[in-house]
Every structure is written in C-alpha cells, then in structure tokens.
Amino acid sequence: MAFYIIGVLILLQMGIIYLPFMHGIFHTTSVNFFFGWLIPIIAGVIVLVITEIIKLARIAYRKESGKKAEQFN
C-alpha cells in the first residue's frame, strides 16, 4: 500500500513541476533531466549503497562478537 501512495505522490509532484498551467499557480518552472532527476537519483543510490554496506558490516561484527562471547562461556 505504501508503494501506491509513494507513486501517487511522485505523479502529483511531477504534475506540479511539468504541467504548464501549474507553473503560474505554484510559481515553478520545469527542471531538466540532468539536474532535476539524474543527480538526485545518483545521490540516492550512493546513500543506499553506503547504508547497506554499513548494515552488512554491523551484522558481521555482531556475529563475530557473538562467537567470541561463546568462547568464554
């Protein structure tokens, strides 16, 4: 359900940005592909990859520290 809501919000946002009659209402202009879409998508992918690497490192650390704790018992 959340993905449908996100999709609707993205469509509404694109409507506000790209529909010509909305420009006058919201005082917006269209954005080009590179600065409006490509750079934010790349930034989001970089953040996603870094957070996943950190998560995997944390899981591996917890597994390793759990093995060490078992050795002392």
**Tens digit of pLDDT for each residue in 19-49?**
999 999 999 888 888 888 899 999 999 999 9
* Mean of the per-residue pLDDT values of the chain: 88
Considering only CA atoms, which of 30, 35, 8 is closest in space to residue 18? 30
Q: What is the CA radius of gyration of the chain?
A: 22
Would the pTM count as exceeding 0.85? Answer: no
10 Å CB burial of residue 17 (0-12, 13-18, 19+) is middle
